[in-house]
A and B are shown apart, each in its own frame.
Chain A
Amino acid sequence: MSKITEVKSARTGDMYYKIEHDSGLSIYLYPKRDYNSKYAIFGTHFGSVNNAFSLDGGEVKKVPDGIAHYLEHKMFECEDGDAFLKYAETGANANAYTSFNKTCYLFSCTENFEKSFDILLDFVQRPYFTEETVAKEQGIIGQEIRMYDDSAEWVVMFNLLKEMYKNHPVQIDIAGTVESIAEITPELLYDCYYTFYNLNNMVLCVSGDLTCDDVLKIADKKLKKCEKHDIKSYFEEEPYEVCSHYIEQSFPVSVPLFNFGYKEKSHKVSQKESAEIDIIISILTSPSFELYNKLDEENLINQTFDAEYFDGQGYNSVIFSGESRFPKRAAEVIKEYIENLKQNGVNPEDFEIAKREVYGDLVSSLNNVESIANALADAHFNESDIFGFIDDVAQCSADDINLRLKNMFDTDNTTLSVILPDKE
């Protein structure tokens, strides 16, 4: 029998079920009463960075860059037809994506949930690759890569990552290159599939007006029990220091873009730490506070200004991004401000407002079945809990923030990446 646990949140009045299914899969169900929309996401902890791995202590396999994303595309092709065409009979809106750390298959629907859920569990567990079908995808993914080659936002980020990371595969484009994907074979896809698409390495999250029975009725039938294996990913040792402090490239754009990153020592981020970081990022990017206003008044940023904490297996950093006519000056102002903040600590009133902003955002995100299920999947892979996270934000103190700040933002370990308009 599968083990079902109820997880409740007094603060939001919501709850979800965590089901440890016999097959080895972790399933989450977040009921939303009186919603028409239903959403399911089935993900594996396999992303673009996992390009060297071993199974049960066996030999380390190195696979071509972009293979996780290629595998995602090819999963839709089944022996008995295309999964998109099966979904077409239910009306569900289906999609999939690959990130640095995970590959996810998802659908949203209002009608025919059972049929669509059946399709999802079926095709993700039934790989089917042939020489011919694998070759066909080269053209489509080739055009996807070309589309990103023209995206200044994409290029400015990967230029940054290349200058921040010497060895870590996070600097490599998620889709790989036209050359690297040419090396992909059905055998390599099967290797990756049978390593990472083990149900013990996956998560299934569902949200909508549904009961555990609705979910288990199909899960019990479709999920094939998996033996647990020891999967290990290998990363070359990464130096603490960034490779260089500055990179620029010209591009056919009319407003320059920048990414400004602080590289940190790689470590696993706890839930409490993550809550503190969210509040710090709000203080550094919200128009409610000094830094945003200073940058705005000096015409150094516009409303695209933002920052994110960028972390995963073997890499951690804070990345500021936006459009700026004067990116070097913007980076200087950010650096100076953060140095001062580290020395003097946060203003208690600022802290209180920033905390409320983060708290309001988190509670609002529980409105939507998609954002709920996505957050549950992320939390599962990060070994955290979405309700615990909201509590950690609500309970955070200014002292916690000041302490956290001391361990972040090494001014000597930054990289600025800039995209400049082509000269006429």
Chain B
Amino acid sequence: MNPIKQRELADGVIFNSISDNRFKTMKLLTNIFLPMSEETASVNALLCYVLVRCCKKYPDMIKMSRKLGSLYGAEVNGSVSKMGDMQCIKIDIGGLSDKYAINNENISSELSELLCEVIFNPKVKDGKFDEKDILQEKRQIMDMIDSDFNDKRVYASQRLFEIMCADEVYGIKWCGTKEQIEAVTSEQLYSAWLNMLKNAHFEITFVGESNPDNAAEIIKNSFKEIKRAPVDLSTDVVYSVFEEKDVVEEMDVAQSKLEIGFRTACAEPEPETVATRLMSVILGGTASSKLFNNVREKKSLCYYCLARYQRLKGIMFIESGVETANIESAKKAILAEVEDMKNGKISDFEINSAKLAIINSTLGVSDTITGLSGWYSSQVMDASVDTPEEACKKVEAVTREEIVNAAKKLMLDTIFVLKAGE
């Protein structure tokens, strides 16, 4: 693998390229960042899915899909997520490396062009997107919202964030509400598209063995006529808890879900995020963690019990699935483990195994195209961009004292229980 090369193709349009001949595929990943807001969340989310559905050159789903299929099952994917207080529209295109084409097609250059067709040349007419396409993609997003409710684990964790961050931008769902999606008009979608081209921050990453210059050139040309005024990337971090929230919701399910949210008083770009992450992994990130060993293995209270840290927003959350009769004992057992962390009751074994686990998974990032492209695009809001090796060195250097300090800053914010019938 060669080191990452970075260049700016236009104001706020960053092109990263990694030449790597180990893979049988190539990928061009575009991360488009816009500020999250109540007013724009739904229109931007819908825009993403309408853009990847089809374009002027391949004006319906079947034509688009057949073009990709004939390029040996190449794929265009769109997805929308939150990164801190930014909404991230992800559009990626990927397919086989040229040398595996049975009929010698130049797959990578066709795909670079197709990506630009999708972003810059959508099926618009008279300042509007196609009504039928919009209707279909609205239906898909509404089904996605509904299907989040189908999965009770996903639902419970979404509820935690809704309750915990009710007064923050971060509490907005990635696509807004069903009502907002329903209400989007084709004109609004068109202005959202123009706004995106003009104001969004673009982070484009190319991974593959062919020369990235061709792709960079095509993208650069596409931005030529656009007058750019890119937004800043920023996130509000909450450093105190005004009032602990405790919410119980009853539902006719078999297993209760327990979700506990903490403020960590530490977020990017502060350097202590490395220690805070390590602290969360010691607590509940592996099969040798405190939660797995003590709450699952020793007390047999649950099948899963884990902790996750969101370093952009400064939140750590713990989740578990338990018998209704055991909700209180599980809560007690989990909070006791958190207290132990704060009091420095952490063994060397726990620290070292967590460090090893993080290092092992981090070094593996460079072995998949998705891992590699995601690694760099996930650091756009960080103080510095690290290679996987640099990130490992930082983890290794964390001391016991720093871990305990990170734990001491934890503030319980919200407990959400999805309560099953007894």
Contacts of B66 in A (CB 8 A): 288, 353
Q: Closest approach, in angstroms, between the C-beta of B410 and any C-beta of chain A?
A: 23
Q: How large is the interface on A (under 10, 10 to 19, 20 to 34, 35 or more residues)?
A: 35 or more
Q: Which of B70, B252, B357 contacts A91 (CB 8 A)?
A: B357
Give Cα A247 to B100, complex, Å.
Answer: 45
Contact B140 A293 (CB under 8 A): no
Contacts of A253 in B (CB 8 A): 146, 149-150
Decide yes or no whether B253 CB sits under 8 A from chain A: yes
Decide yes or no whether A313 CB sits under 8 A from chain B: no
Give Cα A173 to B74, complex, Å.
Answer: 36
Contacts of B353 in A (CB 8 A): 88-89, 91
Contact B24 A146 (CB under 8 A): no
Contact B139 A302 (CB under 8 A): yes
Decide yes or no whether B363 CB sits under 8 A from chain A: yes
Contact residues of B between 93 and 108, Cβ < 8 Å to A: 95-96, 100, 102
Count of A-B residue pairs with CB < 8 Å: 189
Contact A91 B72 (CB under 8 A): no
Contacts of B143 in A (CB 8 A): 255, 302, 304, 323
Decide yes or no whether B239 CB sits under 8 A from chain A: no
Contact B150 A152 (CB under 8 A): yes
Contacts of B124 in A (CB 8 A): none
Decide yes or no whether A50 CB sits under 8 A from chain B: no
Contact B363 A364 (CB under 8 A): no
Give Cα A37 to B1, complex, Å.
Answer: 13
- With most chain A CB atoms within 10 A of its CB, the pick from B304, B355, B357 is B357
Known: A36-B367, A299-B139, A364-B25. A143 touches B321 (CB 8 A): yes
Contacts of A109 in B (CB 8 A): 360
Q: Closest approach, in angstroms, between the C-beta of B277 and any C-beta of chain A?
A: 15
Question: How many residues from B make CB contacts under 8 Å with A?
Answer: 66
- Which residue of A is nearest B68, CB measured? A288
Contacts of A147 in B (CB 8 A): 153, 255, 303-304, 321
Known: A254-B150, A288-B65, A364-B24. A359 touches B357 (CB 8 A): no
Contacts of A122 in B (CB 8 A): none
Contact A110 B364 (CB under 8 A): yes
Give Cα A93 to B69, complex, Å.
Answer: 35
Q: Closest approach, in angstroms, between the C-beta of B149 and any C-beta of chain A?
A: 5
- Which residue of B is nearest A34, CB measured? B22
Contact residues of B between 106 and 124, Cβ < 8 Å to A: none
Known: A146-B323, A149-B255, A367-B25. A357 touches B69 (CB 8 A): yes
Contact B151 A151 (CB under 8 A): yes
Contact B65 A34 (CB under 8 A): no
Give Cα A215 to B23, complex, Å.
Answer: 24
Contacts of A352 in B (CB 8 A): 70
Decide yes or no whether A32 CB sits under 8 A from chain B: yes
Q: Closest approach, in angstroms, between the C-beta of B176 and any C-beta of chain A?
A: 17
Known: A90-B356, A287-B65, A302-B143. A363 touches B24 (CB 8 A): yes
The stretch from B3-11, B224-232, B293-301 touching chain A is: B293-301
Decide yes or no whether B147 CB sits under 8 A from chain A: yes
Decide yes or no whether A140 CB sits under 8 A from chain B: yes
Give Cα A16 to B322, complex, Å.
Answer: 45
Give Cα A89 to B302, complex, Å.
Answer: 24
Known: A37-B364, A302-B140, A422-B252. A141 touches B25 (CB 8 A): no
Contact A304 B288 (CB under 8 A): no
Contact residues of A between 109 and 149, Cβ < 8 Å to B: 109-112, 136-144, 146-147, 149
The stretch from A53-61, A79-87, A222-230, A397-405 touching chain B is: A79-87
Contact A364 B96 (CB under 8 A): yes
Known: A88-B286, A367-B23. A139 touches B301 (CB 8 A): yes
Known: A37-B364, A37-B367. A359 touches B297 (CB 8 A): no
Decide yes or no whether A199 CB sits under 8 A from chain B: no
Decide yes or no whether A358 CB sits under 8 A from chain B: yes
Decide yes or no whether B245 CB sits under 8 A from chain A: no
Give Cα A323 to B96, complex, Å.
Answer: 30
Selected A-B contacts with CB under 8 Å, 12 pairs: A82-B297, A87-B288, A93-B361, A108-B360, A108-B364, A143-B321, A147-B321, A150-B255, A288-B65, A302-B140, A364-B73, A369-B367
Lowest 10 A-B CB distances belong to which pairs?
Answer: A91-B356, A360-B73, A139-B300, A88-B288, A360-B72, A88-B353, A357-B73, A110-B363, A255-B146, A149-B254
